Amino acid sequence: MSREGLVLQSLYLKLGRRCSYDDIAIWFGIAVKRGLMELKLEYDGCLDPRHSFLPKNLYTCDTLVVLKLKKGYLDVPDLVCLRSLKTLSLKSMIYSNASSLLRLLPNCPVLEDLFIQQCYIHSCALSFKIILPSLKKLSFVPKRKKRWYSMIDPSKTSSGITGLVLDAPSLKYLHIVDRSGGFSVSEIININAVVKATIEVILSQPEKLLHSLVSVEHIRLCLSATEVNLLVS
């Protein structure tokens, strides 16, 4: 990585207990200078996620196109701009507060693919407000608590999707799985371009969500205990 002038296409870091924040910052700082385009950062499952902070310069990397994070702690600073980011994957992340995603997503102006798995947060509930004109694929796949989260106070941990607000006029593919029982929709502004949808949620009144899928061609629904498969040619 010492040959300056060559673009670094991708970097995969899997970090264990002995890896410090300073180590990560050094590696990532070098990668940024090399025009890093893809970063996959995974923390050891035995590491306390509250100590798994991400480098601050990660949030202002102009060249980053693909970002995949797993088992880390997402604490988004006030200064954030990922102007080239097209793919964002967040797996088993801990969010510092309810506004973490609200600060991050609006500052990804060309984001096309958003994947969120195991949406846990420490100390407060998390709602999702997705307003992204460029977004084409959206996946929520939350799961229940695993052993990895035993160090977190369960009384201060919540999972699932609450208060979903969705405005994504370019969205083509929608995949939502939430069996927590807390799923709710606040407002669906525009998902009129969706052609394929998979929705598995516990939702007593799904009309607000379903009525927005005006262009859907393939849909799989599992609402409470009812499953409906619909194919429109």
Residue 1 lies in a domain: no
The 3-state secondary structure of 193-221, one letter per residue: CCCEEEEEECCCCCHHHHCCCCCCCEEEE
Report the range of poorest mean pLDDT among 34-43, 63-72, 85-94, 203-212.
203-212
Residue 109 lies in a domain: yes
Q: What is the pLDDT of residue 127?
A: 65
Q: How far apart are CA 211 and CA 190, in angstroms?
A: 11
Q: What is the pLDDT of residue 38?
A: 96
Q: What is the pLDDT of residue 212?
A: 87
Higher pLDDT, 194 or 5: 194
Q: How far apart are CA 136 and CA 130, in angstroms?
A: 12
Count: domains in the chain: 1
Report the range of poorest mean pLDDT among 22-36, 70-84, 102-116, 152-166.
152-166
Residue 155 lies in a domain: yes
| CA angle in degrees (0–180, nearest 5) for 163-64-128 | 0
Cβ neighbour number for residue 205 with a 10 Å cutoff: 10
Residue 171 lies in a domain: yes
In this prediction the pTM is: 0.83
Q: Which domain holds residue 17?
A: 10-231
Instruction: State the average pLDDT over residues 37-41.
Output: 94
Residue 229 has pLDDT above 50, yes or no: no
| SS3 state of residue 18 | coil
Q: How far apart are CA 67 and CA 79, in angstroms?
A: 18
Residue 130 has pLDDT above 80, yes or no: yes
Residue 5 lies in a domain: no
What would the pLDDT profile of 162-221 be if each residue is shown by its tens digit? 678 899 999 999 998 877 776 777 788 899 999 999 988 877 667 778 888 889 999 988
Instruction: State the average pLDDT over residues 86-104.
Output: 87
Q: What is the pLDDT of residue 60?
A: 93
Tokens 């009309």 -> residue: 207
Residue 2 lies in a domain: no
Residue 67 lies in a domain: yes
Contact (CB, 8 A) for 140 and 161 = yes
Residue 14 lies in a domain: yes
Contact (CB, 8 A) for 61 and 107 = no
